[in-house]
């Protein structure tokens, strides 16, 4: 109880504490009454709440005619001054040490996957003390096989290129919703439907789909390649079946995407969303290997 009373006394304002705490403690030691704890609590609240004017710093004027006044008689302890001086010296020495060592040139690791005479050698003394100099070969960045294929895949299939508005090789939910409008942009002859050619089908640099001869063949302008009409129709069917996206859009498998199929494109595309995440990932729109082989062989 005495410790608690002493603690509460220590919480009083300094001016009051220094003046009366000793006497109050003496009274407590003499009276040893529990109600004194309540009294000191009340005193604590009264001193902080009702006696703010008594906490004002008493200004001692050292020189009434001068400009400087002493606000407090506090002086730092001599040990504190010594400690501060020692810390300052240590800090200064550390600063000087850092500055002098920091002036030395810093060696960076420099490497290349294709080292040439112009490529600087690398100092790796911290890693291999026995071999102070070595050439570091940085491995070539990993190539995403799907991205490499998708760049060609989306280029060949105009429908995919039109659907993938942001060119990330993923048909997002928003792009699925916007599919009818995107497909209508491919309708160059404005007949309301998309032929295989409008979807990206092409047999060569000189291939003109409307240039059918009387013998039922089509050929390039140099006459190097000549396909029969049946062959071209078969190639069109293969092309439309090549991509799961085209196959899904051409619901009646008539080798063209009709106006109604364009309007229902969003629903048709959503059927390809196998994992139900709302977008068509590469694995969901990649062509099967058989169709890919056929198309690439034709190209």
Partner 1 sequence: MRDQAAKFLPLNPATLHILLALAGEDLHGYAIMQEIARQSEGSYRLGPGTLYDNLQRLLGQGVVQERGRTGDSRRRYYRLTALGRGVLTAEIARLESVIHDAKLHLQAGRPGNA
Summarize as ranges the residues that interact with partner 1 (CB under 8 A).
16, 19-20, 22-28, 30-31, 35-36, 38-40, 42-44, 46-47, 51, 54
Q: In what helix (H) or strand (E) does residue 195 lie, and over which residues does it extend?
A: none
Closest separation between CB of residue 3 and partner 1, Å? 17
| Shortest distance, position 48 Cβ to partner 1, whole Å | 12
Q: Which is nearer to partner 1, 22 or 221 (CB)?
A: 22
Q: Answer for the pair 295, 202: CB distance below 8 angstroms, yes or no.
A: no
| Smallest distance, partner 1 to C-beta of residue 24, A | 4
- CB closer to partner 1, 41 vs 138: 41
Write out the H or E segment, with its range, that includes residue 145: helix 145-156
Phi-psi region of 16 (alpha: psi -120 to 50; beta: other; left: phi over 0): alpha
Give the Cα separation of 258 and 51 in Å (integer): 92
With tokens 């020189």, the residue in question is: 63
Instruction: Count the alpha carbons within 13 Å of 123 in the hemisphere toward its beta carbon.
Output: 6
Q: Which residues pair with 134 in a beta bridge?
A: 122
Number of neighbouring beta carbons within 10 Å of residue 68: 7
* Distance set, CA 38 to CA 5, 16, 20, 44 (Å): 10, 18, 17, 10
Cβ(217)–Cβ(228) below 8 Å = yes
Contact assessment for residue 175 and residue 148, using Cβ atoms and an 8 Å cutoff: no
Residue of 183, 184, 165 whose CA lies nearest to 175:
165
Q: How far is the CB of 6 from partner 1 (least distance, A)?
A: 13
Q: How far is the CB of 73 from partner 1 (least distance, A)?
A: 19
Closer residue to partner 1 (CB): 42 or 82:
42
Q: Which is nearer to partner 1, 57 or 283 (CB)?
A: 57
Smallest gap from residue 19 Cβ to partner 1 (A): 7
Query: Which residues on neighbouring strands pair with residue 218, listed in sequence order?
Result: 227
Contact 172, 166 (CB under 8 A): yes
CB of 37 to partner 1, least distance (A): 10
CB of 52 to partner 1, least distance (A): 13
Chain CA centroid to CA 277, Å: 21
Nearer residue to partner 1 within complex by CB, 54 or 135: 54
């Amino acid at each position: 109880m005495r410790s608690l009373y002493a603690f509460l006394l220590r919480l009083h304002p300094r001016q009051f504490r220094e003046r009366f705490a000793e006497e109050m403690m003496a009274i407590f030691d003499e009276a040893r009454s529990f109600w004194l704890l309540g009294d000191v609590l009340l005193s604590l609240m009264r001193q902080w709440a009702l006696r703010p004017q008594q906490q004002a710093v008493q200004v001692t004027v050292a020189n009434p005619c001068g400009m400087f006044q002493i606000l407090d008689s506090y002086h730092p302890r001599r040990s504190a001054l010594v400690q501060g001086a020692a810390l300052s010296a240590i800090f200064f020495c550390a600063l000087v040490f850092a500055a002098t060592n920091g002036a030395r040139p810093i060696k960076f690791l420099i490497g290349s996957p294709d080292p040439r005479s112009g490529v600087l050698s690398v100092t790796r003394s911290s890693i291999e003390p026995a071999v102070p100099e070595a050439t570091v070969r940085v491995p070539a960045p990993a190539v995403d096989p799907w991205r490499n294929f998708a760049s060609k895949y989306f280029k060949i299939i105009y429908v995919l290129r039109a659907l993938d508005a942001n060119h990330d090789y993923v048909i997002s939910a928003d792009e699925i919703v916007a599919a009818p409008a995107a497909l209508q942009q491919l309708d160059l002859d404005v007949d309301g439907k998309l032929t295989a050619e409008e979807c990206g089908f092409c047999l060569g640099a000189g291939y003109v789909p409307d240039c059918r001869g009387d013998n039922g063949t089509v050929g390039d302008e140099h006459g190097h390649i000549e396909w029969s009409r049946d062959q071209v129709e078969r190639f069109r069917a293969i092309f439309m079946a090549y991509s799961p996206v085209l196959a899904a859009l051409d619901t009646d498998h008539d080798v063209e995407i009709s106006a109604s199929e364009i309007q229902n494109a969003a629903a048709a595309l959503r059927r390809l969303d196998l994992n139900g995440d709302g977008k068509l990932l590469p694995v969901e729109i990649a062509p099967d290997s058989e169709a890919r082989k056929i198309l690439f062989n034709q190209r």
